[in-house]
């Protein structure tokens, strides 16, 4: 059984070996996550990727993993096997597109809605089924859920700063996660829910 994990990659160097469709998708996702992306490939650089890419126009060499924190091997099976071995020697985590079982981590199927990410893995049994399950769960997440999460993100810094007592802070956060807020957002709208949340936060800060 794999260990589920969400990684914060902003400002961290991630290396993609290979520039085919798989490598392109990996690079695009990494850029969206704020990573510093290096792509190693002898092919012509992409011209339409939304973000800066450090393109190394060369055949793969072990030195290309220097300073990497995550590596995505998306080249041929032979090259990917070398990348996995070199990454292990350098103590860098590698994902292999052609042989995921040999790498250090796999990527789940993901359904994204605002700040909500639904990630599903079948531990390698069926990536296709994982995508279908993620899609089915994602269909249950409508705009009200997205709004609820946005409100929680809005008030969280204020709660952390204004409610220093851990027990009181945890009680407040639990209260703001009660399903009644979803019903309020749906029936009374965003502004009513925001004002009600703000009053709870104020009371907790003063109490």
Which of 27, 31, 5 lies closest to 16 in space, CA to CA? Answer: 27
Task: Evaluate whether residue 175 is within a structural domain.
Answer: yes
Block means of pLDDT (10 residues each) for the chain, 207 residues, are 92 97 95 96 86 94 97 98 98 96 94 95 90 95 96 95 93 96 96 96 89
Q: 103 with 147, same domain? A: no
The conformation of residue 100, written as its DSSP 8-state character, comes to: G
Residue 103: give the domain boundaries: 13-107
Quote the DSSP letter at residue 73.
E
In a domain, 91, yes or no: yes
What is the rounded distance in angstroms from the CA atom of residue 60 to the CA atom of residue 84? 12
Q: 130 lies in a domain? A: no
SS3 15: strand
pLDDT at residue 10 in the model: 97
Angle at Cα 47 formed by Cα 43 and Cα 52, nearest 5°?
100
CATH of the domain at 25: 3.40.50.720
Which residues in the chain belong to E strands, given as ranges? 13-17, 36-40, 53-56, 70-73, 93-96, 109-113, 116-120
In this predicted structure, what is the pLDDT of residue 176?
A: 97
pTM equals 0.86
Domain boundary among 88, 107, 126: 107
Residue 19 sits in the same domain as residue 80: yes
pLDDT at position 207, please? 73
Residue 134 within any structural domain of the chain: no
Residue 148 shares a structural domain with residue 192: yes
Same domain, yes or no, for 22 and 103?
A: yes
Residues 102 and 178 in one domain: no
Is 128 part of any domain?
no
pLDDT at 160: 93
Residue 3 resides in a domain = no
The answer to whether residues 167 and 85 belong to one domain is no
Clarify whether residues 34 and 87 are in a common domain: yes
Same domain, 18 and 101: yes
180-188 vs 143-162: helix axis angle to the nearest 10? 120
Number of domains in the chain: 2
The whole-number pLDDT of residue 47 equals: 82
Q: Are residues 101 and 148 in the same domain?
A: no
Shared-domain flag, residues 91 and 176: no
């Amino acid at each position: 059984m794999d260990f589920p994990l969400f990684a914060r990659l902003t400002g961290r160097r991630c290396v993609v070996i290979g520039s085919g469709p798989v490598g392109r998708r990996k690079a695009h996702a990494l850029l969206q996550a704020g990573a510093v992306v290096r792509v190693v490939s002898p092919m012509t650089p992409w011209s339409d990727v939304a973000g800066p890419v450090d393109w190394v126009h060369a055949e793969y060499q072990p030195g290309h993993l220097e300073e990497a924190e995550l590596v995505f091997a998306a080249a041929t099976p032979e090259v990917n096997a070398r990348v996995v071995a070199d990454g292990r020697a350098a103590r860098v985590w590698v994902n292999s597109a052609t042989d995921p079982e040999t790498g250090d981590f796999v990527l789940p199927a993901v359904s994204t809605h605002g700040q909500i990410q639904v990630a599903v893995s079948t531990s390698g049994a069926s990536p296709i089924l994982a995508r279908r399950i993620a899609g089915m769960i994602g269909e249950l997440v409508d705009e009200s859920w997205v709004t609820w999460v946005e409100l929680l993100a809005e008030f969280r810094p204020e709660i952390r700063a204004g409610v220093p007592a851990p027990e009181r802070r945890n009680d407040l956060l639990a209260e703001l996660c009660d399903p009644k807020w979803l019903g309020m957002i749906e029936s009374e709208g965003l502004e009513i829910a925001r004002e009600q949340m703000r009053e709870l936060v104020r009371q907790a800060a003063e109490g």
